[in-house]
Amino acid sequence: MNKMVLIGAIMAGLLVFTAVIAPALTKYDYRAQNLSERLLPPGARHIMGTDELGRDLFSRMVYGARVSMTVGVIAVLISTIIGLLIGSIAGYFGGIIDSTAMRLVDVMLTIPTLFLILMMVVFLGPSIINIMIIIGLTSWTDIARIIRAEVMSVKKTAYVDAARLIGLGRARIIIRHILPNIMGPVFVYMTFGISGAILTESGLSFLGLGVQPPYPSWGNILTAGKDYISTAWWLVLFPGIAIFMAVFSCNIMGEGLRDRFNPRIKD
Amino acid sequence: MKRYLIKRMILMIPVILGITVITFIIIHLTPGGFVKTNMEMNVKVSPGAMEHLKALYGLDKPLYAQYLDWLSRLARLDFGDSFIDNRPVIDKVLERLPATLLLNITSIFVIFILGTIIGVTGALRRNSVYDRIMTFVTFTGYSVPAFWLALIMMMLFAVKFPILPVSGISSINYEMMGPFEKILDVAWHMVLPVFITAFGGLAYISRYVKSSMVEVLSRQYITAAYAKGMKEKEIIFKSALKNSLMPVVTLLGLSLPGIIGGSFIFETIFAWPGMGRLAYEAAMSFDYPVIMGTVTIAAALTILGNLLADIAYAMIDPRIRYK
Amino acid sequence: MGPNQAAIISVKGLSVDYITGPVEKLHALRNVNLEIAAGESAAIVGESGCGKTTLAYSLLKLGPKNSVLSGDIVIDGISIGAAKGEQLRGVRGKTAAMIFQDPGESLNPVFTVFQQIKEAVNAHMSPVPDDGAMRLLARGMLKDAGLDDAGRVLNAYPHQLSGGQQQRVMMAIALSCAPKILIADEPRTALDVTVQAQIIKLLLSLKKEHNLTLALITHDLNVAVMLCKRVVVMYAGEIVEDGMISGIAQAAHPYTHALFDIIPDMRSGRREFRAIPGSVPDLRYPPAGCGFEPRCPRAREKCKRIHPEMEAGARCFFPYETRRIE
């Protein structure tokens, strides 16, 4: 199973690396239009070809990696923080606080997430910040549930009792003793969350509600290209493969990690 | 079983209330109040609709009164009228509902059948080449952006090899067909959308069936069945399968929001005349009443689906049935 | 076992390894030899992890997929190692039936008692009896197993029955095809004391009534000597003592002594749990000498180096004197 983590980590690492050193990789400005070089197929000058405005696709893809992955990571950080807060509070205090939190989770699980996201994007407007916040706001339930369960089981173990006897405050007990124990499962859900957020952003882009031009994201590059699908296949193929690779690498990493952290599912 | 179901239904009440609160909050989230935004953004709003809208949301009243109003209207399925054509939202949703249900229920059915087959065979031949390939294939389906795959498929089957219809729910000459031909025609139009939905959802179910089957096969009652001298086929497909599939019913209920949520992307791509496409069209034209209506109905459908899953679970699991 | 009695269970040189890693093996059974005559009762005793359950499962080839068997097992003339498919199926349940540790776990939770009796009978009977006849048959079986309200039990699901009732149902199922051999794996651990006593009584009477050969797997010497004249003691995957033992006076091996010592004394009311100090050796790395040596009060230097063989019914260089009636 560690092989899966490794393959996923290498793929994801490559993508992140590409995004980080983006300026060093590209000969062209991702915004530079060149109407005499419209819709060129991949070749020596433009290794991924050009788009309908004559922009270099490779440059746009590399900068798109920055945008797409930033959206993925920030959205997941937001949902992780929300999930950590709600989950640990619910799990630690129990009682009414817990059941209220769990009903809220039920509500979030019942509303089709994409509907909710679509609705909020329409109402708030599709800026990058809004999209990250909205995806974060709507995808914290898995983390909250896993945290809650972990906090409840860790709470029962002896050393937390010992910490309480020593007289540590509640917040300190949670932070010092419980959180380090639950980082494993949280990390698993974060990797799945990143892939989910990247997919969601590209889906929104496809509907015209994702990251808006002039910022390139894999989703909006693909969406702009779809009108030229029968003549300029590269405009659809490359961003699709990029999204797939990012999502796939996160998913197999998450899958491998899950098997490590959760011996029950291990097979 | 009655007590179990009653308990389930009581648990649903706060969920339903929660959904109404969230949709209500979102309406009021819009900076400057949404009627005002709406007036600025949508020139097509007729004065009549405007008045109706104000009355519908009672924007002059205090917040809690507005919420109670909204609630009582919801209870009567009154979502107001569409800004676009002034028809009642509920009518518009209801006429789109059958197409959405047809697509989603068929997809769930296909996912369930294929997921079970892949999961069970994978569990029986764990870590074999077959198992690894299937895991890879389902995982690919889980990771591939569905709309991208849909585009590629449309490209393949509409442009390169025009063998499958890629848009709509029926052919142009649908009205002139016989009843049997009509069914065939719709089924033919469903092939691609169902394939793509199922491909994406397969990993979730097949993985679950597999681990559930592996777990059940290690239980003592399975060893006991072998010790009785039962045939292996009977043990696997009767004794073990029933036990490992029961939790999947609940899982299907839980996967409903994801499938319904994904449907507006599919429906938009394949021009499927369903609720998802309606929601998308509404969103693009800032048709708030329709947006609110579709979200609420989609959530209600999910709740209904979960309830049905609970009932089905209670009926097939004797430990709940006789409690 | 007298020489003129034919062995219905014959185990020769049986070793079972569990593959636990790429190169790692757990040697669960090492060179086990055991013959049980038709009609005989033999108790196989030992602490958990000594290999007794592995032995019981191996008799019907029920071990997990990662286990590797070598040696011979012959049940009523059929070689189990080589048997496959229909032949193996014919032995399981028909020649030799088995009941398991936890009755609640060994009944399928989603089928009724009737369905589970029926599948056991159908596995071996042809033509398959119709439902009416089957019901009558099943009712009789449940009555034999001491279940008075057979009608209710028949239509019940396992979770609707008490632990004792579940155990009786298991016995009814085990005896449904009139087997010659009954292998009982800890048939009472999961039950409370009163029910345990009833089940033992039932087991005794069923054994007599059906003229069963009984292989009883238990960690409790008390039960072993109560039900069986012959006691086979296992330790660290080997048989360390085998003989007619009814009390500590007949026990030659120090391990058997230790097992007798920890039996709670019912009369004094002293019911606390006691265990032999120390723990069983790691069977991934079986010891060179005697496996019990580190825990043995009689151990000497020799025990550490040399692996003792079975001699006069015990695998020990320094056995206790016994007053054994051979």
Q: In the predicted model, what is the mean pLDDT of residues C4-18? A: 86
The CA distance from B118 to C308, in Å, is 52
Q: What is the pLDDT of residue C1?
A: 45
What pLDDT band is residue A231 in, cutting at 50, 70 and 90? confident
Interface contact C108-B316, CB threshold 8 A: no
H/E stretch holding C67: strand C67-75
B8 touches chain A (CB under 8 A): no
Q: What is the pLDDT of residue C35?
A: 92
Close Cβ partners of B165 (under 8 Å, ≥ 6 residues apart): B171, B188, B189, B192
Using a CB-CB cut-off of 8 Å, the residues of chain B touching A239 are 148
The CA distance from C269 to C248, in Å, is 20
Q: What is the pLDDT of residue C325?
A: 53
Q: Which of B221, B317, B322 sits opposite C107 (nearest CB)?
A: B221
Q: Are B143 and A251 within 8 A, CB to CB?
A: yes
Q: Which two tokens stand for residue C205?
A: 């009477």
3-state secondary structure of A15: helix
Largest CA distance in chain B: 79
How many independent structural domains does chain B possess?
Answer: 2
Q: Which residue has the higher pLDDT, C324 or A7?
A: A7
The residue to which tokens 């992780």 are assigned: A80
Q: In whole numbers, what is the pLDDT of chain B averaged over residues?
A: 84
Q: What is the pLDDT of residue A247?
A: 94
Q: What is the pLDDT of residue C190?
A: 56
Q: Are residues B36 and B184 in the same domain?
A: no
In chain C, the percentage of residues whose pLDDT exceeds 70 is: 92
| Whether residue C42 has pLDDT greater than 90 | yes
Q: Are C168 and C200 within 8 A, CB to CB?
A: no
CA distance B269 to chain A (A): 10
B162 touches chain A (CB under 8 A): no
Q: Which of A107, A119, A255 sits opposite B18 (nearest CB)?
A: A107
Nearest of C115, C147, C151 to residue C131 by alpha carbon: C115
Largest CA distance in chain C: 69
H/E stretch holding C18: strand C7-19
| Whether residue A159 has pLDDT greater than 80 | no
Nearest-by-CA chain B residue for C123: B230
Cα separation values, C196 from A231, C53, C105, C202, C270, Å: 80, 19, 17, 10, 19
Q: What is the pLDDT of residue C34?
A: 93
| Whether residue B107 has pLDDT greater than 50 | yes
Q: What is the pLDDT of residues A181-221, one digit of tens each?
A: 778 888 888 999 999 999 999 988 888 888 888 889 999 99
Q: Are residues B58 and B107 in the same domain?
A: no
Q: Are residues B70 and B211 in the same domain?
A: no
A104 touches chain B (CB under 8 A): yes
Q: What is the pLDDT of residues B191-220, one digit of tens each?
A: 999 999 899 889 989 999 999 999 999 999
Q: Domain residues of chain C, as ranges?
A: 1-95+180-326, 105-178
Q: Are B291 and B282 within 8 A, CB to CB?
A: yes
pTM higher than 0.90, yes or no? no
3-state secondary structure of C237: coil
| Whether residue A263 has pLDDT greater than 50 | no
Nearest-by-CA chain B residue for A207: B265
Q: Which of B218, B221, B227 sits opposite C108 (nearest CB)?
A: B221
Is B239 a member of any domain? yes
Q: What is the pLDDT of residue A181?
A: 72
What pLDDT band is residue B59 in, cutting at 50, 70 and 90? low
Q: Are residues B64 and B32 in the same domain?
A: yes
Q: In whole numbers, what is the pLDDT of chain A averaged over residues?
A: 84
List chains touching C (3+ CB pairs under 8 A).
B
Q: In the predicted model, what is the mean pLDDT of residues B119-129? A: 91
Q: In the predicted model, what is the mean pLDDT of residues B267-280? A: 88
CA distance B314 to chain C (A): 12
Range(s) of the domain holding residue B25? 15-74
| Whether residue B85 has pLDDT greater than 80 | yes
Q: Are residues B178 and B238 in the same domain?
A: yes
3-state secondary structure of C23: coil
Selected residue of B147, B216, B267 to mutate for chain A interface (largest A Cβ count, 10 A): B147
List chains touching A (3+ CB pairs under 8 A).
B
- Whether the ipTM is more than 0.90: the answer is no
Q: What is the pLDDT of residues A16-47, one digit of tens each?
A: 998 888 778 877 888 878 888 777 888 878 88
Is B135 a member of any domain? yes
Across B37-46, B63-72, C205-214, C302-311, least confident range:
B37-46
Nearest-by-CA chain B residue for C101: B220
The CATH number of the domain where B104 resides is what?
A: 1.10.3720.10
What is the identity of the amino acid at B108?
A: I
Q: Number of Cβ pairs closer than 8 Å across A and B?
A: 138
* Burial class for C273, CB neighbours closer than 10 Å (0-12, 13-18, 19+): exposed
Nearest-by-CA chain B residue for A220: B148
Nearest of C72, C46, C49 to residue C59 by alpha carbon: C72
| Whether residue B285 has pLDDT greater than 90 | no
Across A80-84, A162-166, B91-95, B221-225, least confident range:
A162-166
| Whether residue C117 has pLDDT greater than 90 | yes
Interface contact B223-C89, CB threshold 8 A: no
The CA distance from C118 to A39, in Å, is 72
What pLDDT band is residue B286 in, cutting at 50, 70 and 90? confident
Interface contact A118-B279, CB threshold 8 A: yes
CA distance A246 to chain B (A): 9
CA distance B226 to chain C (A): 7
Using a CB-CB cut-off of 8 Å, the residues of chain B touching C89 are 229-231
B125 touches chain C (CB under 8 A): no
Interface contact A119-B140, CB threshold 8 A: no
Interface contact B299-A230, CB threshold 8 A: no
Q: Which two tokens stand for residue B178?
A: 């016989």
| Whether residue B133 has pLDDT greater than 50 | yes
Q: Which residue has the higher pLDDT, C22 or B202?
A: B202
Q: What is the pLDDT of residue B257?
A: 79
A118 touches chain B (CB under 8 A): yes
3-state secondary structure of B153: helix
What pLDDT band is residue B292 in, cutting at 50, 70 and 90? confident
A27 touches chain B (CB under 8 A): no
Q: Which two tokens stand for residue A161?
A: 């009792």
Q: Are residues B69 and B102 in the same domain?
A: no
Q: What is the pLDDT of residues C158-169, one digit of tens each?
A: 999 988 899 899
Q: How many CA atoms lie less than 13 Å away from A164 in the CB half-sphere?
A: 11
Q: Are residues B195 and B310 in the same domain?
A: yes
The CA distance from A51 to A57, in Å, is 6
Highest mean pLDDT among B117-121, B149-153, C21-25: B117-121
CA distance B176 to chain A (A): 32
In chain B, the percentage of residues whose pLDDT exceeds 70 is: 89
Q: How many CA atoms lie less than 13 Å away from B9 in the CB half-sphere?
A: 8
Q: Are residues B109 and B194 in the same domain?
A: yes
How much of chain B is in helix, strand and coil states, percent to nearest 5?
80, 0, 20
Q: In whole numbers, what is the pLDDT of chain C averaged over residues?
A: 86
Q: Are residues B37 and B110 in the same domain?
A: no
Interface contact A110-B151, CB threshold 8 A: no
Using a CB-CB cut-off of 8 Å, the residues of chain A touching B281 are none
B143 touches chain C (CB under 8 A): no
Q: What is the pLDDT of residues C171-206, one digit of tens each?
A: 999 999 999 999 998 766 556 677 777 888 888 888
| Whether residue B83 has pLDDT greater than 70 | yes
C190 touches chain B (CB under 8 A): no
Close Cβ partners of A9 (under 8 Å, ≥ 6 residues apart): A249, A253
Query: According to the CATH classification, is domain C1-95+180-326 in 3.40.50.300?
Result: yes
In chain C, the percentage of residues whose pLDDT exceeds 90 is: 41
Dihedral sign for Cα C188, C189, C195, C197, please: positive
Is B3 a member of any domain? no
∠ CA C261-C265-C268 to the nearest 5 degrees? 140
Indicate the CATH number for domain A57-261. Answer: 1.10.3720.10
Q: What is the pLDDT of residues B21-41, one digit of tens each?
A: 887 787 676 544 455 555 555
Is B27 a member of any domain? yes
| Whether residue C86 has pLDDT greater than 60 | yes
Nearest of C59, C49, C63, C1 to residue C184 by alpha carbon: C59
CA distance B1 to chain A (A): 22
Nearest of C315, C262, C313 to residue C293 by alpha carbon: C315
